[in-house]
Amino acid sequence: MKKIIITIITATSLLMAQNIGSLQQQIQNAVNIYSKGYNDTAVLLLMSRDGKTYKASAGYADRKSKRKAKTDDLFEIGSASKVFTGVAIFQLIEQGKLSLDTKISRFYKDKEIRKLANYKGKNYWDRVTVGMLLKHTSGFIDYLNVYNDDSKALKILGGKSKRYTFKKLIHQAVAFGDANFKPGEKFKYCNTGYIILGDIITKVSGMDWHEYIQKNIFDKVGMKHTYFGSLIPKNIREHMLQGYMRYKPTFMPPSLADSAGEIISNLDDLAEFMKAWSSGKLYRYKKTLIFQLTEGFKLQYKNIANLYYGYAIMKIEGFYGHGGQTFGFQSYIAVNPKTKDIYIVGINDSTVWSMSLFMQLAGIKLKKQDRK
């Protein structure tokens, strides 16, 4: 923890100091320091401020070959993919095919999936809504975090030959017992809810959820360097950042993350997405974006004050976005709709906190008691 705090303080002082060079150089210095603080882990950053865009990179894209990271490198964005899934759901709501109050029992009669809502001898499946899945209040077991240890999870679930289907992921969740609480009672982050949302997109749109998001988000925004991990061409995957966990190379089967986190992208594409989303270009009606920006509840999360979670969106000090983590990467995407400032962070080690780099550059402080 001390090492992280020293890195944050030093990089922030570099960025905020006067007369030490251009803003571009200050940002590059901050990224260099952050990368060095974690043994030359690859760190990619895009910052758009006052109508100008700055990009910086540092560290190794591949430790074995010593290939240096570049600002146009591709990386896994992990749970930041949930913003895309959320936008797709709101688009379908605008089309009248869904509502936040739609009961998911409408789509599923299978006995196993209903077990997700078992709690203390009763089943609450008929209470679960689309809105609960978006806001992580379903109470379902999170199939990706049942081991409470990423290294153990990677050992059990990882491997380049592994392929996961929707049914297999649901089975993984159900196998670990009853729900955490009754639907709607409280917040608990849950990837299971988002793979169900992806499947609902498929059911109500008439096309596979990958195809729907490609057509209605990627193509609409012009994201020509964004892919789904399970569909990315081999020749393109070979040129993306190598993922690591505590500096050891890893590989997470993309289908394991599914619609909860399998998107691969780069800084520029993600910035264009955040610009399009925050300006309302991905919705038919302005009220849809306003609703998504205003709805949310405060979270008690680690050492971060004033953190809120809404419908597929996190809010902190005027910035809206989402963090992401796979078994080899971390990311953070954020935009301030009022100032138009955008921050995109990509890191190729799952144990290096991407959100802290965003916070330091955006001037968001940690809680005082955690700076001791």
Same domain, 330 and 222: yes
- Within a domain: residue 119? yes
Is residue 87 located within the same domain as residue 47?
no
**Shared-domain flag, residues 357 and 223:** yes
Q: Confirm whether 153 is domain-assigned.
A: no
* Residues 244, 113 share a domain: no
366 shares a domain with 227 = yes
- 238 and 356 inside one domain: yes
189 shares its domain with 317: no
Whether residue 130 lies inside any domain: the answer is yes
**CATH number of the domain where residue 250 is located:** 3.40.710.10
Residue 217 domain-assigned (yes or no) = yes
What are the structure tokens assigned to 31, written together?
Answer: 């990224």
> How many distinct structural domains can be found in the chain?
2
Tokens describing residue 228? 């789904």
Residue 76 falls inside a structural domain = no
Whether residues 354 and 250 share a domain: the answer is: yes
Distance of CA 211 to the CA centre of its chain: 19
Q: Is residue 155 one of the residues assigned to a domain?
A: no
In this structure, the answer to whether residues 38 and 92 fall within a common structural domain is: no
- Residue range 6-15, pLDDT digits in tens: 344 344 444 5
Answer yes or no: is 41 within a domain: yes
State the residue range of the domain holding 114. 83-148+162-201
- pLDDT tens for 295-336 read 888 887 667 778 899 999 999 999 999 999 999 999 999 999
- In a domain? residue 16: yes
> What's the confidence (pLDDT) of residue 282?
98
223-227 CB contacts, 8 Å cutoff, 24+ apart: 223/265, 223/269, 223/272, 223/273, 224/269, 225/72, 225/74, 225/265, 225/266, 225/268, 225/269, 226/263, 226/264, 226/265, 226/266, 226/269, 226/270, 226/273, 227/74, 227/263, 227/264, 227/265
Same domain (yes/no): 332, 217: yes
Kindly give the confidence (pLDDT) of every residue in the chain, 372 residues in length, as a single tens digit, with 9 standing for 90 and above. 333 333 443 444 445 443 446 999 999 999 999 999 999 999 999 999 999 999 999 999 999 999 999 999 999 999 999 999 999 999 999 999 999 999 999 999 889 999 999 999 999 999 999 999 999 999 999 999 989 889 999 999 998 889 999 999 999 999 999 999 999 999 999 999 999 999 999 999 999 999 999 999 999 999 999 999 999 999 998 889 999 999 999 999 999 999 999 999 999 999 999 999 999 999 999 999 999 999 888 887 667 778 899 999 999 999 999 999 999 999 999 999 999 999 999 999 999 999 999 999 999 887 654 433
Convert the pLDDT of each residue in 143-196 to its tens digit.
999 898 899 999 999 988 899 999 999 999 999 999 999 999 999 999 999 999
